[in-house]
Structure 1
Amino acid sequence: MTLPVPSPISDGDRERVAELLQRACGEGRLTLEEFSVRVGAVWAAEDEAALARATDGLAPTPVVGSSTTVDKVVTVFSQSQRRGRWRLRGRGLRAVTVFGSTHLDLRHVLSGEDVIEISGACVFGEFKVIVPEGVEVELTGPSVFTNQEFRLAAVPRVPGTPEVRVRVTTWFSNVEVVSARPELPSE
């Protein structure tokens, strides 16, 4: 008795599934991190079964999360954190921090854009951006008496993930852009 040999898949098959996942991410059915993991599996798939597993459990409707979209974060003498599932309005986010701390965790952000742009200023503060591993990130902007730390995992870019562009003007501040593995689910 011989076992059936799985049929090979084409790049067109992979692209079709990657586009399906990208639409699901744009509609809020997948976070950026979930999309990143699934689309990586699509490009690594060697047969139809592996390709099908990349779309397993894809929710038909958006998952419960923040219905408020965010386009601006202003922090003055305080601390602001955006973590978990949250929705980005459009392509850009404006962040201003003065004598405070702003942390933006993009691992579960909902956005269907090809490029996510974060711009703003940080004066006497701390500004941190966390992205999923495998996402391309660019950090630019003038800095004066500022410590900048750019720490991305040495992993290949996951095809189909958006590019994140961070342009922040900083004075007497600490700026950190890091990639992180997926968070483990809470028990």
Structure 2
Amino acid sequence: MGIPVPARPSDGDRERVAELLQQACGEGRLTLEEFSVRVGAVWSAESESELALVTRDIAPTPVVGSARTVEKIVTVFSQTKRRGRWRLRSRRLGTYTVFGSTKIDLRDVATAEDVIEINGCCVFGELKIIVPQGVEVEVTGVVALSSQETRLAAVPRLPGTPEIRVRVTTWFSNLEIRSRPPSLEPAIQDD
């Protein structure tokens, strides 16, 4: 008699677990980065037990710090950094930078949206957006006498992750969008 081979999870099982993860992210129990890593594990799971491990330690309630809701970031003659755990309740985030520097780290954002839209302008400033690896990013907007750089890791898109659409007009500015791998360190590290 041979050793029984565990059954591979069905696509339906994987979709149900991915939906649970998306709900946990929307409720603030997972960050976008944690969601991205876990949904990748869902689609690569070889057995039902591996699939069960993906959701076993999700907090039953939102963790501290996830209640900060942000809809707009305005920076004038200043520097703004939005990082750590924060909540995006709608699909739109406005960002306006004039003679300043704005850094938006989406790796620890809590959202249930399928699409995140970042709209705004940057005039005589700098806007840096960091996304988790495996997230699709679309960049549009007027670039006038400015620099725009998109550096995303060459990894496959993780199913179930939101698409990020950046529509920012830049005048005499620098716009940088880059992906970063999941970190084991707290998100409060400086770049």
Q: TM-score, normalised by structure 2?
A: 0.94
Alignment match, 2:89: 89
Contact conserved, 2:139 with 2:166, CA < 8 A, in 1? yes
Alignment match, 1:154: 154
Are residue 105 (structure 1) and residue 105 (structure 2) matched? yes
Are residue 50 (structure 1) and residue 59 (structure 2) matched? no
What is the CA–CA distance in structure 2 between the aligned matches of 1:81 and 1:182, rounded to whole Å?
19
Deviation at 1:133, TM superposition (A): 0.1
Structure 2: stretches of 5+ with no match in the other structure? 187-191
Q: Name the aligned partner's letter for residue 109 of structure 1.
A: V
1:71-105, Cα deviation, whole Å (9 max, x unpaired): 00000000000011011131110000000000000
1:118-140, Cα deviation, whole Å (9 max, x unpaired): 00000000001000000000110
Q: Name the aligned partner's letter for residue 128 of structure 2.
A: K
RMSD: 1.1
Alignment match, 1:141: 141
Alignment match, 1:182: 182
Name which of structure 1's ranges 56-65 and 117-126 shifts more when overlaid on structure 2: 56-65
Alignment match, 1:171: 171
Correspondence 1:10-49 to 2 at 5 A: 10-49=10-49
Aligned length: 186
Q: TM-score, normalised by structure 1?
A: 0.96
Deviation at 1:66, TM superposition (A): 4.0
Q: Name the aligned partner's letter for residue 138 of structure 1.
A: E
Alignment match, 1:7: 7
Contact conserved, 2:66 with 2:110, CA < 8 A, in 1? no
Deviation at 1:68, TM superposition (A): 2.2
1:144-183, Cα deviation, whole Å (9 max, x unpaired): 1111110000000000000000000100000000000112
